Amino acid sequence: MAPSRKIPVAILGATGTVGQRMIELLANHPWFEIAALTGSDRTVGRPYGELVNWKLNDAPPPAIARMIVQPSDSPLDVGIALSALPTDVARTVEPLWAEQVAVCSNASTYRMASDIPLIVPEVNPDHIGMIERQRSERGWKGCLVTNPNCASIGIVMALRPLHDAFGIEKMHVATLQAISGAGYPGVASLDIVDNIIPNIGDGSEEAKIESEPLKLLGSLSDGRMIPASAIISAQVTRVPVVDGHTALLSIKFARRPDPIDAIDALVAFRAPEIVRNLPSAPEFPVIVRSEWDRPQPRRDRDAGRGMSASVGRIRPCPLLDLRMVVLAHNTIRGAAGGALLNAELLVAEGIVS
């Protein structure tokens, strides 16, 4: 499954916080090596280390710091492009690259497009089946694959085994989302220290959480995606936490499970073998916690090297069927790591070589 030589990877939009995480996650990666970094006009032609406002620990690796930033809109001869581009830039740039290169994008631009797979490898790896049709209809030699919104991803990892076993019909979601989800400079400290902001993106975040999980839990028919038919209501907030999105779920199922049955389904949940063996895949996609006060962002966000979702407080709901709390690292699992795992899946499936 592993490639015979390291595959060259370009990071599109490498200077932002998601691009920085991609660089961090690709250090010493067994399959990939960073071949190019792209940025906006302001940054092109300059050494990455001179212009990046590095917001992760320490500093970028010296070899990366010396790389000269390339323009985003001129596709390069690499095996894979990991895209951390802004939504509007992605609109024109990602299709350019996809003509030749496999693009794994964290941008929201094409997530809900009918021929673009939205993939979480542990949840719906079969959706890469859409690529064949995508290539033939778009005339691409490469492809474009997306990962979901940073808040949707943890939720949908918990939902997968529950949906399979009991059928999700309705769900109420309330989120408490970390500041890193807004990028940099992102949320002003005057807005969030000793404070809560009861909305994100003027409602657009809620719209994503209400739609993306349905595509992720949907099924393929003849290369076309048929979304799941559940109804989701989302209420989002921004909280003074650095990393880690918390979601409070209340779910109605087609077949109401006892909490213990839901716990059993979550504990037993494993990714397909091809996914389990990907370099960035966590040992357990879902970690069930039994403490009365977990999961917590600071204590659980790094579970599975930031790639696992943690689920706790699984209990009945007087209104729907079950309630639970889900937490995942929003910039690892929910962004850079999500795109990277998709890239690894494309390699393992032989779509990129």
Q: Which 8-state DSSP code applies to residue 68?
A: B
Provide the minimum distance between the beta carbon of 285 and a copy of itself in the complex, in angstroms, as a whole number: 16
**Residue 12 is which amino acid?**
L
Choose between 74 and 195: whose C-beta lies nearer to a copy of itself.
Answer: 195
Choose between 129 and 240: whose C-beta lies nearer to a copy of itself.
Answer: 240
Provide the minimum distance between the beta carbon of 335 and a copy of itself in the complex, in angstroms, as a whole number: 14
210-214 long-range contacts (CB < 8 A, ≥24 apart) are 210/234, 211/112, 212/111, 212/112, 212/118, 212/148, 212/149, 212/152, 212/156, 213/148, 213/152, 213/155, 213/156, 213/159, 213/171
150 is catalytic: yes
Contact present, 176 and 224 (Cβ < 8 Å)? no
* Beta-bridge mates of residue 233: 172
Choose between 49 and 129: whose C-beta lies nearer to a copy of itself.
Answer: 49
Degrees (nearest 5) of the Cα angle 16, 18, 24?
Answer: 105
Provide the minimum distance between the beta carbon of 179 and a copy of itself in the complex, in angstroms, as a whole number: 5
143 is catalytic: no
Choose between 127 and 313: whose C-beta lies nearer to a copy of itself.
Answer: 313
The site for a copy of itself (CB under 8 A) is made up of: 17, 55-58, 170-172, 174, 176, 179-180, 184-199, 202-203, 210, 231-233, 235, 237, 239-242, 246, 248, 250, 292-300, 302-303, 312-313, 317-320, 323, 325
Q: Pick from 180, 124, 122: which is nearest to 151 by CA?
A: 180
Annotated catalytic residue within 127, 163, 245, 329: 245
Q: Rounded to whole angstroms, how far apart are CA atoms 195 and 208?
A: 24
Provide the minimum distance between the beta carbon of 157 and a copy of itself in the complex, in angstroms, as a whole number: 17
Contact present, 71 and 41 (Cβ < 8 Å)? yes
- Residue 173 CA to its chain's centroid (Å): 18
Residue with tokens 């389990």: 276
Annotated catalytic residue within 104, 150, 163, 172: 150
Q: Which 8-state DSSP code applies to residue 335?
A: I
Choose between 23 and 347: whose C-beta lies nearer to a copy of itself.
Answer: 23
Provide the minimum distance between the beta carbon of 102 and a copy of itself in the complex, in angstroms, as a whole number: 31
Provide the minimum distance between the beta carbon of 181 and a copy of itself in the complex, in angstroms, as a whole number: 10
Choose between 44 and 239: whose C-beta lies nearer to a copy of itself.
Answer: 239
Distances (CA, A) of 142 to 17, 98, 148, 166: 26, 5, 20, 37
Tell me which residues are annotated as active site.
150, 245
